[in-house]
Chain A
């Protein structure tokens, strides 16, 4: 019966075969908040904003940089590979290197490294968070691609991501959960519960570390959620790779085309979410993206987008900042508070923007 109804759904485009995408509405109603925000600093591949006592850390490809209050960037260290995730607590900085693993700099456990075991290497770390001073939570996005291959992982429809706890004293790795579709962000709550984003399933999960029970707290998102940063008032800042696109949803259900596209078309020209748009004329164009009177409409469908959502402590969205189809502050996969301001790193726009006053009490 289910096979028959599957065929029926496939024919009519219903159920799993529906290519509808939730609209940006309610707290996610589009605005130009990110687009109008002032540029705090220019930084190629700006990512992984983390607040420390000495300033805000960021990753820029293989360099670890620290910003002064004026936006001046100082390169702290060069790593042998692209930095894919950062975390900081109690003088310790955890740095994830793409394809290699995680290393601790400073603090009690200086020099501690973890690369995973033979069965599952930590080669695709997408997010790091200190649970306490002796344990680090690690999100490994996929078992088959490095963190930079996030689009490939999405378009291959993988669900091989996993969540780990690293005991910093012993160096022991403990698997919390696997079979995740690209876990891309982790947040602690001060209890046994942690929040994890599952990007390719468009949701945020709550996982109880003691019982390992998993519940979805925020589902059917219109975008692919990335990292979670803590907010001043016990809430969170949820960042996103890009918004979902009806054509991408459709291609994910079109096996022949999807496989041939992965095999024959260069990755930057795929019909897939992206961190930026219009870098090359060979990027695909969709109907509403056609410029009319030399204007690209902000409400056009788009492959790249900038979106940061403020959620309360139960992951209920409260408000959001956007950079829409006509903007450039896209690929905003990292945010952190700095005083009263919110800093947002735009990988696609190669800069860090400051949303003034967003963090300090200016919320409904």
Chain B
């Protein structure tokens, strides 16, 4: 191995680029940019603003956070629902007016004042919500108009009551406690705010109402079609928003005790900056309380620090506006390009040097021949996605379809078919257990069992999560082939944990050990991973020795043996390496050997590219999937090998007219049945010189009386 090759090999072993893509699929990745921005901002102002981290500053900040934060949370709810509320500033002013008048002039109790204030919020929100939700007016224009209406109302009333408000004071200790008190040194209002934020967080992320809000904001029509009351949901979002704004006004009144005529003006700018900067999308359907908090703190730190640095108000607003503009730009670009970035980063090929393939030259056991040229045909025009085939004790033939059905064909001619069971997903490998239940791997769903009467039962769809996984890999993406151990445990392969079945070629392009072998015990119901980091583990077959299983790793072109029992228990041995094609299912043959399907063949051009991960990565990004270099799955063949891994014979369809791709084969009573998942038929090949009564369930479980 050359120096350069070793370097490439180690670079791909030590730097796992696939993790980058997996991190990008995480939901919290949206918050990374605002969080970084916040940290940078604090670092900058922390170093230049005197007393930035002092207790007085933080107390002041937490008080303000409670007030601005409530408004931002309200806005978040509206924005998640796909709308916007520009009238928050005016609603805030009205709420302050009502609270101050009631508490100072009217000498109301705390409860009366709070109720009156929240009542005002409900009224303002209901007006907005009615117009936007029920009359379906544009949120932007509508709330712009209500902004003016509420502000005008305030402007009309305020001069008449401003003098009495200033000249009198409230008479409620609770009210004062809310404004000036502390709980364990933390301002009361902030504690209340944290509680409210937690409640809203639970509501948005865990409760039915939150899910509906996200559904309406993300895709209004789909939400409607799913039966969600879209109009009421929108209406309620505006009401909730205004109630939170009113509460914020109540807090403000309690803390400040008086008001100026310009109270609440420009609040919408601050609030919008906070929400958008936090990563709450203007398009709706994306956002969280944590994001709202980050945005709030960012805006407060920015404006307070600018104030401390004696930057004038208008300049302060100018900077805030620029930050908003920038965040909107970032929001638009991020939402638009996120999936593109993810797509181009997710596929990360690795270094996979292939062994020299076993020769297929004439004279060798794998020499290309035409033995599959004149095979019989079953299910032409009926089959679509038959990956595997199996027979029961009545000689009935079972196979899966792309639509998720299990078809049953009746002997002796196998022309009549019926749907034996419907599971969904893509049924792949099959096996019969001791009690004649059909065990099936279903891609996208997991491991299933169908009883002889057609009753479907999910056996398992989850295994233990691996310690180092970034993305939760406990659910099964591509259960591929299964077999049953003598003690009844079911061992099955999951080809890849990184891709769905229809993206199999992306896994081939990566050629990393993304797959695993899992064992399920039907008695205890437990499922756990036996072997991981396998390169597309595919076919699996319990060996005749009763203490090991043979399994194929497709993209690594090798067959291995795993001992589940006996002196070598837990060990893995290579049986065949350097296959000229990509091994798929392995099944028992009548004479104590094994049938192996090669679904496709290796090509020198692809083998070369496997040593060049960078080339494959660029190809995945630059070239259309239609033109990607792929394993040659248009030529397949069937091999037979013995316990030692010696290949004995091969069956080919040289021109690929009938069986271009072979994913499985099963010997049954002297006939070999051939399947290809992309084929429209099943082939039958009478075998010469084999036991004409051999049947695989007998081989596993013995003859039944």
* Stretch among B201-209, B253-261, B674-682, B694-702 lining the A interface: B674-682
> 14 A-B residue contacts at CB 8 Å?
A246-B626, A260-B608, A269-B604, A269-B605, A270-B605, A282-B602, A284-B606, A285-B630, A285-B633, A287-B630, A291-B633, A291-B634, A291-B656, A301-B626
Roughly how many angstroms separate A357 CA and B621 CA in the complex, as a whole number? 46
B674 to chain A, nearest CB (A): 12
With the chains together, A290 CA to B582 CA distance in Å?
Answer: 15
Q: Choose one: B384, B612, B632; the contact of A257 (CB below 8 Å).
A: B612
Most chain B CB within a 10 A radius of its CB, from A288, A289, A294: A294
Task: Give the residues from 266 to 281 in chain A that come closer than 8 angstroms, CB to CB, to chain B.
Answer: 266, 269-271, 278, 281
- Judge if B368 is at the interface, Cβ distance under 8 Å: yes
Chain B residues with Cβ below 8 Å from A296 are 634
Q: A291 contacts B661, CB within 8 Å?
A: yes
Closest to A266 in B: B604
Question: Pick the contact of B627 from A266, A270, A286 — CB < 8 Å?
Answer: A286
Tell me, yes or no, whether B631 is within 8 Å of chain A by CB.
Answer: yes
Q: B585-613 vs A: 1/0 string, CB under 8 Å?
A: 00000000000000011111110110010
Q: How far, in Å, is B518 (CB) from chain A's closest CB? A: 28
C-alpha gap A286/B609 in the complex (Å) = 13
Q: How far is the CA of A13 from the CA of B679 in the complex (A)?
A: 37
Nearest CB on B from A102, distance (A): 36
Known: A281-B632, A285-B603, A285-B632. A13 touches B622 (CB 8 A): yes
**In the complex the two chains form, what is the Cα distance from A290 to B504 in whole Å?**
13
Q: Is the CB of B384 within 8 A of A282?
A: no
Q: Which residues of A sit under 8 angstroms from B527, Cβ to Cβ?
A: none
Residues of chain A within 8 A of B612, CB atoms compared: 256-257, 260
A270-B635 Cα distance, complex, nearest whole Å: 17
Provide the bound-state CA to CA distance between A222 and B628, in Å. 18
A271 CA to B627 CA in the complex, in Å? 11
- A265's contact among B608, B624, B625, B627, by CB below 8 Å, is which? B608
Instruction: Select from chain A the residue with minimum beta-carbon distance to B652.
Output: A281
A-B contact sample (10 more), CB < 8 A, given A19-B623, A281-B368: A250-B623, A254-B615, A266-B604, A281-B634, A284-B632, A285-B630, A288-B625, A294-B660, A294-B680, A296-B634
Residues of B within 8 A of A278 (CB): 634, 656
A-B pairs with lowest CB-CB distance, top 10: A281-B635, A288-B626, A285-B632, A284-B605, A246-B627, A293-B680, A281-B601, A265-B604, A247-B627, A287-B628
A246 vs B629: C-alpha distance when bound (angstroms)? 11
Residues of chain A whose beta carbon lies under 8 Å from any beta carbon of chain B: 13, 19, 245-247, 250, 254, 256-257, 260-261, 264-266, 269-271, 278, 281-296, 300-301
- Chain B residues near A250 (CB, 8 Å)? 618-619, 622-623, 627
Write out the residue numbers on chain A whose beta carbons fall within 8 Å of the beta carbon of B368.
281
Complex: chain A residue closest to B658, CB-CB: A294
User: B605 — which chain A residues lie within 8 A by C-beta?
Assistant: 261, 265, 269-271, 284
Complex interface: chain A residues within 8 A of B679 (CB): 291, 293-294
Report B-chain residues with C-beta under 8 Å of the C-beta of A301: 626-627
Interchain nearest-CB distance for B664 vs A (Å) = 16
Q: How far is the CA of A266 from the CA of B607 in the complex (A)?
A: 13
Cα of A283 to Cα of B602 in the assembled complex, Å: 9
**At the interface, yes or no: B505 with Cβ under 8 Å from chain A?**
yes
Contact code string B374-418 (vs A, CB < 8 Å = 1, else 0): 000000000010000000000000000000000000000000000
- Interchain CB contact under 8 A, A284 and B619: no
B601 touches which one: A245, A260, A261, A282 (CB < 8 A)? A282
Chain A nearest CB: distance from B533 CB in Å? 26
Complex Cα–Cα for A269 and B679 (A): 25
Q: Are B604 and A289 in contact (CB under 8 A)?
A: no
User: Which A residues are CB-close (under 8 A) to B628?
Assistant: 247, 286-287
Closest chain A CB from B96 CB (angstroms): 53
Residue with the greatest number of chain A CB neighbours at <10 A, chosen from B624, B627, B678: B627
Q: Contacts A271-B605, A284-B605: A292 and B627 contacting too (C-beta < 8 A)? A: no
B634 lies within 8 A of A290 (CB): yes
> Contacts A291-B660, A291-B678, A301-B626; is A285 near B608 (CB within 8 Å)?
no
The distance in angstroms between the C-alpha atoms of A260 and B615, with both chains bound, is 12
Cα of A221 to Cα of B517 in the assembled complex, Å: 50
CB-defined contacts of B681 to chain A, threshold 8 Å: 294
Which A residues lie within 8 Å of B384 (CB)?
293
A113 to B191, CA, bound (A): 102
Is B632 a contact partner of A287 (Cβ separation < 8 A)?
no
Q: How far is the CB of B426 from chain A (nearest CB, A)?
A: 14
| Bound Cα distance from A127 to B555, whole angstroms | 45
> A281: which B residues are within 8 A, CB to CB?
368, 601, 603, 632, 634-635
Q: How many Å lie between the Cα of A301 and that of B624 in the bound state?
A: 10
